Structure 1
Amino acid sequence: MANLKAIYSGSTIGLFNYLIMSDLSIIILTFNESVHIKRLLSKISGLGVPVFIVDSGSTDDTVQIAEAHGAIVKTNPFENHPKQWDFALKNCPITTPWIVGLDADQYPSDELYQKLKSFSDATIPADVNGIYFNRHNYFQGERLKFGGYRNFYMLKMFRRTEGWSDLNENMDHRFIVNGKTILWKEVLIEDNLKEHDIDFWLHKQIRYSNLTAQEEFQRKRGLRGQTLKPNLLGNPDERKAFLKKIWWNLPLYIRPMIYFFYRFIIRLGFLDTASGRTFHFLQGFWFRFLVDFKIKELEKKEKLKQNQS
């Protein structure tokens, strides 16, 4: 990877000349990711494409590692993933026709690496504006193969002029594109090494439960919309939007039990390893029960405030 920092510092024109040599650029979000960022940057360095880091104020050596690998680093205080990606897309000086958006703990398989290495805008139909990558899910270092988690498609690559961050989401981040999308089944392997520590994982889920509860509380009051048109037969995100619309109308406290039964029995989650079965219980039941509890707490606070006014 060429030293983008030197090019950028020396001349904006120099950066522009470098950028137009590639058909894609990569943006990576980071926060205290020294355990992951070197692994990812070492993997993608051979692509020879511009790499931008948007950091949330790391206190470890994440930024130093990124700069040593020639990435351009920008910093922005973190509020949530959709807003951080919105900042990244609007503030990274990208001129390539395509953008790949990654988190630091995401690691491309050899198949995906080769796909990106040989990528050319000319090979993509003009009416296709987004590409879904296939992610394999891991928990405690073991891949999940059942419970609906064997393959997980995420829109990670899109035309620079046609994609944006969905700000109607508070917790689940997604990119939105105009026009058609395609699937690349070559996997984007994701193994968050920090999540091998169960305490880290649990605290992360508690933080996410706050964001999810706030989002759903706001949706019920018409304060937050849904950008995607729900479509069971549409792309992976449109199908998810369809299922979410059903979920929001199910009764609190009952729906976690329904969902866990669906994942563990109907989708054969019980056939996963011991770690996998633990994941399905914690993420499929405990997390969602926690969200419902926090929604009830928000409703109680709202009612109390109304009674006092």
Structure 2
Amino acid sequence: MNKNFSFIILTFNEEIHLPRLLNSIKNLNAKTFILDSGSTDETLKIAEQYGAEVKQNPFINHPKQWDFALKNFKVETPWTIGLDADQTVTPELFEMLANFKEDDNKDINGIYFNRKNFFQGRWIRFGTFYPFYLLKMFRTGLGFSDLNENMDHRFIAPGKAKIWKKGWILEENLKENDIAFWKSKHERYSDLVAQEEIERILKLRNQSLKPNLLGSPDEKRAWLKRLWWKLPLGLRPYLYFSYRMFFKLGIFEGRTGIKFHYLQGFWFRRLVDRKIKALQKTYR
């Protein structure tokens, strides 16, 4: 059994994704923990077949689900890796993990993986989506889930971190090939984001990380989020979509990629802004 790290995975009806992920990591011989939120398909059976330890917890949002996972699984390795079920470990990342040595990382508390995001079979390479560094590996007991977020989840590991630029994870939610599913999912997400932003306006939430445009990938995103919150509601989706399409070259993404940028960078952001305006009326 791997003595360096263990995996934690979140699931909900992931029978089409989970085998893909577990196959990509099985030869690392690492203990695998799965936190499920009520799957009714073959997810739990697949987890059992791969020897994973499973717990159940009702889903509220991703940050709270990760918080529960980190606090309720008995991880005995010095490092924890948190993955989503629709992600897979590439051969390049597999090799880096297979060769990982604790002695070479004594002063490191977190490691960023580089994500390649796919939509309907296409790698979304432009429009701010690549490179995209995610803190996915951190010292057990030190890394935690950022509960100041309501929808976007991130791990925080105080101290020094490193970036594995060629340590790729692939992320592709095959269920999102159905645009009706994608829109239904993001309708739910828009409620979470709108409520979060209202709470930030009311000073009920603070950023856990210090915003810093020149800092770590997460500190840079915190800086950009703070800027986003200052932009005028209703106008900012147009500004953001234009920025992604022209300044960040999303226009070269191809038909499928442009559809993704429109849905994720414009349609979803307009929906959030409309819900924020509706909520503002209830707080007057």
TM range (shorter): over 0.9
Once residues 76 and 283 of structure 2 are traced to their aligned partners in structure 1, the CA distance between those partners, rounded to angstroms, is 47
CA distances 1:263-309 after superposition (whole Å, capped 9, x unpaired)? 11111111111010111111111111110000011111222xxxxxx
What's the offset of the Cα at 1:204? 1.1
Aligned to 1:160: 140
Q: 2:86 aligns with which of 100, 105, 109?
A: 105
Q: Report % sequence identity.
A: 57
CA distance in 2, matches of 1:302, 1:245: 22
d(CA) in 1 for partners of 2:98, 2:173 = 24
1:132 to 2:112 alignment: yes
Q: Distance in 2 between matches of 1:161 and 1:35?
A: 31
For 2:76 and 2:129, locate their aligned partners in 1 and report how far apart those are by CA, in whole Å. 35
1:266-285 alignment to 2 at 5 Å?
266-285=247-266
Aligned residues: 283
Secondary structure in 2 matching 1:99? strand
Counterpart amino acid of 2:131?
A: N
Is the 8 Å Cα contact of residues 24 and 90 (structure 2) preserved in structure 1? no
Per the TM alignment, residue 83 of structure 1 is displaced from its structure 2 partner at its CA by 0.5
1:75 to 31, 45, 56: 56
SS, match of residue 35 in structure 2: strand
Question: Is the CA contact 1:137–1:151 (under 8 Å) kept in the aligned structure 2?
Answer: no
Looking at structure 2, the residues matched to 145 and 36 of structure 1 have their Cα atoms a distance apart, in angstroms, of: 22
Aligned pairs for 1:10-25 (under 5 A) are 22-25=3-6
Q: Who is 1:169 aligned against?
A: 149
Alignment of 1:212-227 (within 5 A): 212-227=193-208
2:86 and 2:101 mapped to 1: Cα distance? 26
How far apart in 2 are the matches of 1:62 and 1:278? 30
Taking the aligned partners of 1:77 and 1:222, their CA distance within structure 2 comes to 28
CA positional deviation for 1:161? 2.6
Counterparts of 1:207-246 in structure 2 under 5 Å? 207-246=188-227
Q: What are the within-5 Å matches in structure 2 for residues 31-50 of structure 1?
A: 31-50=12-31
Query: TM (normalized to structure 2)?
Result: 0.97
Counterpart code for 2:128: G
- Structure 2 unmatched ranges of 5 or more: none
Larger Rg: 1
Shift of 1:87: 0.4
* One-letter amino acid matched to 1:292: D
Using the TM superposition, give the Cα deviation of residue 138 of structure 1 relative to its aligned residue in structure 2, in angstroms. 1.2
Residue number in structure 1 paired with 2:168:
187
1:221-268 superposed Cα distances (whole Å, 9 cap, x missing partner): 011111000000000000000011111011100111111111111111
Q: Which amino acid aligns with 2:204?
A: L
**Residue deviations 1:27-55 (CA, integer Å, cap 9, x gap):** 00000000111111122111111000000
Secondary structure of the residue aligned to 1:60 is coil
SS of 1:137's equivalent?
strand
Partner of 1:13: none
Return the alpha-carbon distance in structure 1 between the equivalents of residues 41 and 125 of structure 2: 34
> What is the 5 A alignment of 1:254-265?
254-265=235-246
With the length of structure 1 as denominator, give the TM-score of the two structures.
0.90
